[in-house]
Structure 1
């Protein structure tokens, strides 16, 4: 056993760090070691249970009911509110769409262009059309009037974010919910990231606009516990205003000779480990613990944002109202800046240009960043200076023109392999030491081609 664990730790040595606030995407770190220990112990204690049958494992049902009740109290629910515990934000969003899908023939979703890609995945899987509404080009906030105009007789669900992932902006939830209610359409708030921190930021005096189930017209809301509830991955909650709205994502089948399959989520067998870990962490931290963590992350965001705004050539996009920042520049190559930050031990996530949103670096700031803000800003300042000295990464004009002319639907596997090799994305998922040339090439590709290239690359990782 010791040898196996040693091998596991050796494999993990090549991963991004999950603690210490050095990875500003993908991970959410409270900075409290005992929280990790409690979550791990609770997960181990319930890992062998199966949420498929709550009569066989009533402990899982009890813990999930407790989790939903806690989320409901925090997020404007009432006695009618019903919920489900899922594996993550994408599953919660998928289920919100699935529950609404059968409301009208040829169903469609109305989404701001900043809505999470999970809703496009839901449309792809469940056969809905996406009606995408451009957002304000400066604030990146969803436009209530344009959203209202996009609702038609096929609309089954309207979506808004609290906040959006790309820019950390909270949409105008009351106005959008009212527009949906006027047309008799469901309205979902994607609060996967903000749901567990925004209520506490409001209690700390921040100007947090209404966004939860207390807003008239909001019929469902998703919130991830493995984000700012600082629980182990992966646990999320989908809340519905009442059980009738939830019923559409339940599934039952007696059309075979085995047990009658009953599913409350997309999964059948579900380990009790993740909900047990979340249940334990929620109870350990409690309301006061989350308020303290919210204060730490609020202070970290303010200091890092002020530091960024003091670096010549950088700017924060929009007016983020939560814990996420998007950093843009008209003066330096941000793909190079990201590489320079990696060399200094920080992971910042490049985001490609889309509509009015330019290339930017995404920062997810957590409580673990409290205390290291000055070090981050100092390294970012040095990274920007280094990027200025190096200059931008160039894609040869003839290569950019050739890429733009490619049709991803007609390219062969061999052609894709050649493009991947040209981009530096080799067999086995290997990556070059510096990603700026890869990102520059991907940025030159139209979105559909970029999708296909990265899917082909994913196929080389999982062989």
Structure 2
């Protein structure tokens, strides 16, 4: 078997990246010519290095062109500047880091965010020693509560966060009042448009109102190109309203005998391939092309909403503002079994665990390539629900639930984690693997507090990556 044949064989167990059947993780335009030019550009620039723009000025030119295009989409002023990053998480990390470093006078900085803000903000706060002040969303809309957000801002707040839209529920926060409250307090406001920034501008304004730089008080916006710009992974953009806001993001070090390190991002060495691929795909599809792709995806969402309304036991958690949504079930079945049943039929949907009184749900991100297949998806979804109802909701033994609630992860050693992983169905006899059915695992994780969920999954990942 050749090396390429081995690669093809290894891919056999992966979810498909094209064809519109994976409704999370990947975004498929359905345009083969765009995919082809992206792959060619990726290969052409794979060995280039974005560390030094003076050595690779072509990368700098492409970066500036992408930022200019994004600035137009996001109603940015002429003073706006931006940076290409490796993905939404890095864009968010840099937004938090820049906000922290701009306020050296604050000893215990905090970020105010809704509970629906992406977990990448948790990661940023963890990395950079920033406290999280989390505010519950409005339960009727799942949007951030602007009044509660404003009330949470204090003298140590360095950043306020809004989502456009939130990943978990697909709704756009009321950015205007949130940004106004931040501005009144002299605090930065970041809009996380990683998943919506390249599609929302082509759709009707969301019910919560404007969310771009057109809103006074918005100081930075992140938008991923490898989502709804349909470029190869991983390229995101982080835009700031002016250079002064961006400056703390940069890092330089001349205090050693080697070259002076100068970085605009967390990374130093980075392949120019993803940037070149993103530039090529964006140039190829163009504004009119993206407008059509956005309409196609949103049309598919509307058809999906109508279809879900006809399936007993399912309901939307909130009316989506973009191209992603979340679905929950009644007590007749559970979303974890539905996700397994959908995978058996060749569709990947993403289960989300319960949180602060919110029921478990299924996350669906609809790409343009999925839109023509919504009828088949709905047929499969109906069958999956029927199968889930027939088997009944997964029940976790009450003694396991009580034990999970009482466990302090900080007190567990390696052997204890091995035992818990075995109970959860993620390991046994000192080994771990991928279970055939994830529903029982997810049901047990759902019964555990978030801290134990995190600890178990970290232990699982650790063991998957041991030799």
Report if TM-score (shorter chain) is over 0.5. Answer: yes
Residue of structure 2 in register with 1:149 after alignment:
151
Residue of structure 2 in register with 1:315 after alignment:
315
Per-residue deviation, 1:105: 2.6
Per-residue deviation, 1:209: 2.7
Residue of structure 2 in register with 1:197 after alignment:
199
Task: Give the root-mean-square deviation of aligned CA atoms.
Answer: 1.2
Partners of 1:206 and 1:319 in 2: how far apart? 11
1:101 aligns with 2:100: yes
1:260 aligns with 2:260: yes
3-state DSSP of counterpart to 1:409: helix
Per-residue deviation, 1:378: 0.8
Residue of structure 1 in register with 2:139 after alignment:
137
Q: Contact (CA 8 Å) 1:352, 1:360: kept in 2 or not?
A: yes
Residue of structure 2 in register with 1:226 after alignment:
226
Partners of 1:377 and 1:115 in 2: how far apart? 29
1:364 aligns with 2:365: yes
Partners of 1:416 and 1:88 in 2: how far apart? 32
3-state DSSP of counterpart to 1:393: coil
Per-residue deviation, 1:206: 7.1
Q: Contact (CA 8 Å) 1:137, 1:356: kept in 2 or not?
A: no
Alignment of structure 1 residues 322-401 onto 2, 5 Å: 322-330=322-330, 331-401=332-402
Per-residue deviation, 1:307: 0.5
Q: Contact (CA 8 Å) 1:240, 1:246: kept in 2 or not?
A: yes
Per-residue deviation, 1:424: 1.3
3-state DSSP of counterpart to 1:381: helix
Partners of 1:155 and 1:372 in 2: how far apart? 46
1:434 aligns with 2:437: yes
Q: Contact (CA 8 Å) 1:173, 1:210: kept in 2 or not?
A: yes
Q: Contact (CA 8 Å) 2:175, 2:208: kept in 1 or not?
A: no
3-state DSSP of counterpart to 1:377: helix
1:295 aligns with 2:295: yes
Partners of 1:240 and 1:352 in 2: how far apart? 34
Partners of 2:395 and 2:354 in 1: how far apart? 16
Instruction: Choose from 447, 450, 456 the match for 2:459.
Output: 456
Partners of 2:333 and 2:353 in 1: how far apart? 15
Partners of 2:178 and 2:399 in 1: how far apart? 45
3-state DSSP of counterpart to 1:168: coil
TM-score for the superposition, normalised by structure 2:
0.97
Residue of structure 2 in register with 1:215 after alignment:
215
Cα deviation code 1:327-377 (max 9, x no counterpart)? 001131111111111111111111001114210000010101121111111
Cα deviation code 1:182-213 (max 9, x no counterpart)? 111000000000000000113xx876831111
Distance 1:206 1:114, change over 3 A: closer
Cα deviation code 1:194-249 (max 9, x no counterpart)? 000000113xx876831111110000000000000000000000000001100111
- Structure 1 segments, 4+ long, off by >6 Å, are none
Partners of 2:319 and 2:150 in 1: how far apart? 23
Partners of 2:328 and 2:139 in 1: how far apart? 14
3-state DSSP of counterpart to 2:461: helix
Per-residue deviation, 1:28: 0.3
Distance 1:233 1:429, change over 3 A: farther
Partners of 2:46 and 2:419 in 1: how far apart? 43
Q: Contact (CA 8 Å) 2:231, 2:277: kept in 1 or not?
A: yes
Paired residues, what number? Answer: 460
Partners of 1:222 and 1:260 in 2: how far apart? 28
3-state DSSP of counterpart to 1:169: coil
Partners of 1:68 and 1:310 in 2: how far apart? 43
TM-score for the superposition, normalised by structure 1:
0.98
Partners of 1:356 and 1:306 in 2: how far apart? 26
Per-residue deviation, 1:149: 0.3
Partners of 2:319 and 2:296 in 1: how far apart? 20
Residue of structure 2 in register with 1:41 after alignment:
40
Distance 1:429 1:275, change over 3 A: farther
Cα deviation code 1:250-291 (max 9, x no counterpart)? 000011110000000000001100100000001000001101
Q: Contact (CA 8 Å) 2:112, 2:157: kept in 1 or not?
A: yes
Residue of structure 2 in register with 1:411 after alignment:
412
Distance 1:455 1:206, change over 3 A: closer
Partners of 2:358 and 2:233 in 1: how far apart? 30
3-state DSSP of counterpart to 1:372: helix
Q: Contact (CA 8 Å) 1:136, 1:143: kept in 2 or not?
A: yes
Distance 1:278 1:428, change over 3 A: farther
Q: Which runs of 5+ in 1 are unaligned?
A: none
Q: Which runs of 5+ in 2 are unaligned?
A: none
